[in-house]
Structure 1
């Protein structure tokens, strides 16, 4: 072999040797990228699964809260109704007690006493739940009073309530029924 051929062969060998490490590095890099891709794909699958579970939990909680809300609204007056049951009992007792009383004067007195106690019991139950009577002695307020008549008066100041025809009621600050009143001019 001539010197030139040897140099040429040597040069080709060097090129081959140089290409081999690059090819090995590229293959190793491709394998590393593929492994990283597989890891990321597995992580993505895991995150999708977690997302699906969290979303399902959220939907279940949302449905449960909706159901609880409707139940709460449906049974919101339960305490109020329970507090009115003793009033009903008192009225039933008043009716049943009339059969045993013979004297009409005594009967009227007992009936009046029973009605007063029942009214007091009902007023207490209503106040317990925020229902109050509109004040009769307060100045006229168009938000809670309905003036059905006005009268001239030298004794009572203008705008003062002279007489109440029908009691008004409020639930907390909202009027349930306006009081029907006569107002002084």
Structure 2
């Protein structure tokens, strides 16, 4: 029995420890609770403000990146176009030189041919600089890079090989811009 009494006393003592310290004076307890509430409310307000600012920064960054993306798309070919300007200049000079009547027709034809060759070389350099290449036409027909417009008999080449090129093909990196139009051996 003594054990039961001791157990009840220890339970009542431990429950007395759970009671808040400020229970003696209700005004002090309410004041401390109000202070804690104010502190928590200010922390909530601060966190809300930080959240709103972070969200606004994110929205601004998203809009700015979208604008930069649209500008990049709009001006993606600017460098390529700038590299083709000398080619246009060369062609215009050839036209002006052709209008000059002081030169004999044979000599004029020779100069025009030379100018066109130089202009074509400028085109090739500009294309090469931007990853535009000729489609390889040596060897066998590849439907990924070639378009067969004719099939002919030939003793010189094997069946399926390219015999003649009607129009050169071009690719940019590994993507076809235009397939080569070819004739192949039957």
TM-score, length of structure 1 as denominator length: 0.84
2:79 aligns to what?
A: 79
Supply the distance in 1 between the matched residues of 2:33 and 2:161 (Cα, whole angstroms): 90
Please list the CA deviations of residues 138-173 of structure 1 after superposition, one character each: whole Å capped at 9, or x if unmatched: 321101100111112232012210001111111110
Provide the residue aligned with 1:89 in structure 2.
Answer: 89
**CA gap 1:60/1:22 in 2 versus in 1, 3 angstroms:** closer
More displaced, 149-158 or 89-98?
149-158
For structure 1, the 5+ residue unaligned runs are: 1-20
The verdict on how the C-alpha distance between 1:122 and 1:35 changes in structure 2, with shifts beyond 3 A counting, is: same
Q: Output the aligned Cα RMSD.
A: 1.4
Q: 1:118 to 1:172 in 2, by over 3 A?
A: same
Q: Structure 2 regions of 5+ residues with no counterpart?
A: 1-21
Shift of 1:122: 0.5
CA offsets, 1:83-123, max 9 Å, x none? 00000000011111123342000000000000000001001
Deviation at 1:137, TM superposition (A): 1.4
Cα distance in 1, alignment partners of residues 116 and 88 from structure 2: 12
> Aligned-pair distance for 1:35?
1.1
Ranges of 4+ aligned residues in structure 1 off by more than 3 Å: 26-30
Taking structure 2 as the reference length, what is the TM-score of the superposition? 0.83
State the alpha-carbon separation in 1 of the partners of residues 94 and 139 from structure 2.
35
Number of residues of Structure 1 aligned to a counterpart in Structure 2: 164
Note if 1:123 corresponds to 2:157: no
Whole-angstrom distance in 2 between the partners of 1:84 and 1:113: 19
**Partner residue of 1:16?**
none
Who is 1:153 aligned against? 154
Match of 2:66 in 1: 66
Counterpart secondary structure, 1:140:
coil
Secondary structure at the aligned position of 2:54 is classed as: helix
**Which of the two has higher C-alpha Rg?**
1
